[in-house]
Chains A and B, each alone.
Chain A
Amino acid sequence: MLEIRNLHARVGDHDILKGLSLTVNPGEVHAIMGPNGSGKSTLAHVLAGREGYEITEGEVVFEGRNLLELAPELRARAGVFLAFQYPVEIPGIGNAYFLRTAANAIRQARGLEELDAADFLRVMREKLKLVKLDEKMMQRSVNDGFSGGEKKRNEILQMALLEPKLAILDETDSGLDIDALKIVGDGVTALRSPARSFIVITHYQRLLDHITPDFVHVLYQGRIVESGDASLALELEKHGYGWLEKAPAR
């Protein structure tokens, strides 16, 4: 589904990703862990198409297409979803209206009929249960005045509505209390399917208590330096990232 080969990315004259390779097959959940500054969020942004990154080497192929050539909205329509670490607040755009506009843009790209307001409301109510958000919040502006946890749950709600093939969760656990963490984790688990893959980017192991990954990768200085199964996350939790400095990247 996703093939990242020898990816190099920089911001200004600062090299951040230095030869990252990763293969994600349908249905797999990959956790990417690593200390601050290792390039985790850059990877997420580069995959989603945020401006400001220069790709100097390597390629990203998503279902046979060169992902890096596509505008962000075309990546989303192709089935790539990024759950933001810092979801933006947009006063003046109603949440429900935003969600319907997004859902219909994706549906249109998939050759499905657009949902009218009533149909959409039914679908949205169903998905709201998954993330335990109050319907009243949908009448407010996008993320406007939402707590940190509510914003992250709103991200998972968007993921549920847009039904991506590949979901990238960028530190979705940051700023969450235990209850919100469970809701987010359960929400993601409910969305797991043989056709849907996840890249879960996280600093800590705790989200992985709720989302059991098939693979865990350690990102350090812009490269994956260690890969393993779910047990690797527990090792990291126990030993921290300090050992990476002693054993320089391969």
Chain B
Amino acid sequence: MIDPALREQALARFGALGYPQRGDEAFKYTNVAPIAERAFAPGEPGEPRAATLPGLEAAMVFVNGHLAGRGASPYVAPLGAPEHRALVQAHLARVAAFEQFVFCAENTAKATDGALVHVPAGTSVEAPLHVRFEARGGAGYPRLLVVAGANSRVQVVEHHTGEGEGLANAVTEIVCGPGASVHHVVVQDQAPSAFHIGRVAVRQDRDSRFVSHHLTFGAALSRTDLRVCLDGEGAECTLEGAFALGGTQHADNDTFVDHAKPGATSRELYKGVLNGRSHGVFTGRVLVRPGATQTSAQQSNPNLLLSKSAHVDTRPQLEIHNNDVKCTHGATIGRLDADSLFFLRARGIDFVEARRLLVAAFGGEIAERVAVPGLCEWLYERIAAVGGAQ
């Protein structure tokens, strides 16, 4: 599946880089020492047993990164399938370069199986393609490659779930051909004591459209990097996410939009809802290169804290290297509106239910825009549930 020479390089980089230490700017608010300390052994293969997300059928299921089941979709194949060798070689580990990223290097060195979503040029895939990755303890290295041909159209829903205490270190690469439209959804719903590391790397050709919805509910500690390179004129991306946390959860969402070519547009909206003693982190880096004139970039990260001990760190980072750009960004950290809460309670709605409604009102729009009937409602309730917790 992965070329042995590439694996060697990745393993060497993994060794040379080592896990992020204190003082690493990219991990300023996230301490990954608990992952390093546990030194998870590779997870065993197993039978699938997690529930499928509402509104979807799984095209492929992995357990601890091992292929464990597949449906009938003609657009989804194992990464190692001989008939797709050339396509995989052309893109795998090229969109998600691992030289600087230790977790990505580790995944590239250790991934056992993976899924390839390939959509031929001009093809519109109607039903969402769904891939589920189950973690069962130990370390798993989920790997997904999406190659959308010119003017094709596809929605891919990635679900990370599981049981026990383990590590999922996932890498997804997405290639959007000229004029292609890709809607990528990630539902991170790992077990409460699990660890999750994810990297989604996207390369967009001219006039392509990429929409991402990233929903973080699970894991004790998670870190997700989303990197989009707008590598063609007129490319557009919309990156939306919600992290709904409670207890002592820690979730770090790091996004990077690289405006490499002129006339591209990026819009970003991440909403955080935090209860208990949870800690959320959002980093939104936008790079506008010297040649990327007529760039439009928007970024917004509103956060809602439901308890005194919940905490969020948000940092927009704009690096703009030409003057012909329109960039806006805003981040807020707020609490529930006391007037709204009183209004609902004065109508007989109890405090917890009123809070649940207000949390849904705040974060629900992200769930609604996932645009999969059944799944949207489920996600909406999951976000609301953070407000409904006692």
Contact = CB atoms under 8 A, between A and B. Distances in A.
Interface of A: 48-51, 71-73, 75-77, 81-82, 84, 87-88, 90-93, 98, 101-102, 105-106, 109, 141, 158, 162
Contacts of B19: none
Contact of A102 (B342, B347, B361): B347
Contact of A109 (B340, B348, B351, B365): B348
Nearest to A52: B338
A141 B357 CA distance: 12
A159 B340 CA distance: 17
Contacts of B337: 88
Interface in B303-348: 337-340, 342-348
B379 to A, nearest CB: 15
A199 B351 CA distance: 26
12 contacts: A49-B345, A71-B351, A73-B346, A73-B350, A76-B347, A90-B340, A90-B344, A92-B362, A92-B365, A102-B347, A102-B349, A162-B348
B349 A88 contact: no
Contacts of B347: 73, 76, 98, 102, 105-106, 158, 162
A102 B348 CA distance: 6
Contact of A105 (B340, B349, B360): B349
Contact of A88 (B339, B348, B357): B339
A188 B71 CA distance: 61
B364 interface: yes
A105 B343 CA distance: 14
Nearest to B338: A51
Given A91-B361, A102-B347, A102-B348, 7 more contacts: A71-B345, A71-B351, A76-B347, A90-B344, A92-B365, A105-B348, A141-B361
Given A50-B342, A51-B342, A72-B342, A93 B349 contact: no
A51 B350 CA distance: 15
Contact of B340 (A71, A75, A88): A88
A244 B101 CA distance: 77
A181 to B, nearest CB: 23
Scoring A71, A93, A106 by chain B CB atoms within 10 A of each residue's CB, the highest score goes to A93
A76 B348 CA distance: 5
Contacts of B361: 90-93, 141
B346 A101 contact: no
B211 interface: no
A73 B341 CA distance: 10
A101 B340 contact: no
Interface in B238-252: none
Given A88-B340, A90-B340, A90-B343, A101 B349 contact: yes
B342 A101 contact: no
Scoring B346, B353, B354, B360 by chain A CB atoms within 10 A of each residue's CB, the highest score goes to B346
B273 to A, nearest CB: 12
A106 B346 CA distance: 11
Contact of A84 (B343, B345, B357): B343
Scoring B340, B347, B348, B351 by chain A CB atoms within 10 A of each residue's CB, the highest score goes to B348
B165 to A, nearest CB: 36
Contacts of A91: 361
A48 B22 CA distance: 52
Contacts of A106: 347-348
A80 to B, nearest CB: 9
A105 B365 contact: no
B348 A73 contact: yes
B139 interface: no
Nearest to A50: B342
